[in-house]
Amino acid sequence: MATIADPTITEPLPRAGSRDRFFLFLSLAMCVVIVGGFSLNLAMGRSSFGLPLIYHVHAFIFMGWLAIYLAQTGLVASENVRVHRRLGWIALGWVPLMVVLGMAITLHSVRTVGGPPFFALPEFAFGNPAGLVCFAGLVFGAIALRRRSDWHKRLMICAVAVLTGPGFGRLLPMPFLIPWSWVVAALIAPAIFPVIGMARDWMRTRRVHPAWLWGWGAMIGTFAVGEVLAFTPLGTAAAQAIVAGTPGAERPFAAHFP
């Protein structure tokens, strides 16, 4: 007897194959950008292990989440779905820690040194939190759609792509990109990964999965919100209040060559 497909049935987690390997390789590429950027900073003496404790806690939380994410991607590619699901709850609990530590390190950075000089101070002060909100929203959305693996894995790629911004900011010649340094590091360069995913979908099916568009839209939308907040009189006044009486207030608010 013929059966009728129920459109409410979600797509099961896929078996290991070329599509899963593609997502694993894309995940590895994003992690290489992040780890490579921070490693380059360390190798060039622009960072050190002698930084305050908050930097080390921040690094542990963020690098730990990357390790969990890579493990999750590898588990799916190797068909170990049961462990993947269990580990997913740890990843979920890890996200709020990342948001809190990300906000804290942003505040610490703008107050102590005014943030990276090749970014406008308000742009960094508001744009970094906006990116964290985007990351968390995409992760929560991906977990909510975990039974629809086609949506889940694409939204997770978009979420991790947001985290590549600091990596690109350390790998690319940011001072020479002023006044476009922030838009390149925080939006254009990270958006490369969803675009690669879109191109892959198009080559395979001649259509782009809507999850990429939602993820890309979230990246653009939160970036725009951060920009609007940074460059309105209210945003500028808030940034001035944040750094008032701290060493960060001594630097120009505009991006400048260090």
Residue 30 covered by a domain: yes
- Tally of structural domains, the chain: 1
Residue range 227-235: average pLDDT? Answer: 92
Residue range 23-48: average pLDDT? Answer: 89
Kindly tell me if the per-residue pLDDT of 79 is higher than 90.
no
User: Mean pLDDT of all residues in the chain?
Assistant: 88
Residue 3 covered by a domain: no
Residue 80 covered by a domain: yes
Residue 5 covered by a domain: no
Instruction: Round to whole Å and give the CA distance between 142 and 153.
Output: 7
pLDDT of residue 92: 85
Residue 128 covered by a domain: yes
Q: Band of the pLDDT at 6, cuts 50, 70, 90?
A: very low
Q: Band of the pLDDT at 105, cuts 50, 70, 90?
A: very high
Question: DSSP H helical segments within 113-252, as ranges?
Answer: 121-144, 149-171, 181-183, 192-205, 210-231, 233-243
Residue range 200-212: average pLDDT? Answer: 95
Determine the Cα angle at 150 with ends 19 and 154, to 5°: 80
Residue 104 covered by a domain: yes
pLDDT of residue 20: 65
Residue 167: closest CA among 29, 35, 42: 35
Residue range 197-208: average pLDDT? Answer: 94
Instruction: Round to whole Å and give the CA distance between 74 and 143.
Output: 17
Kindly tell me if the per-residue pLDDT of 209 is higher than 80.
yes
Tell me the residue range of the domain where 156 lies. Answer: 18-36+50-244
207 Cα distance to chain centroid: 25
Residue 250 covered by a domain: no
Residue 213 covered by a domain: yes
Q: pTM of this prediction?
A: 0.88
Percent of the chain whose pLDDT exceeds 90:
72
Residue 210's CB is within 10 A of a number of other CB atoms, namely: 12
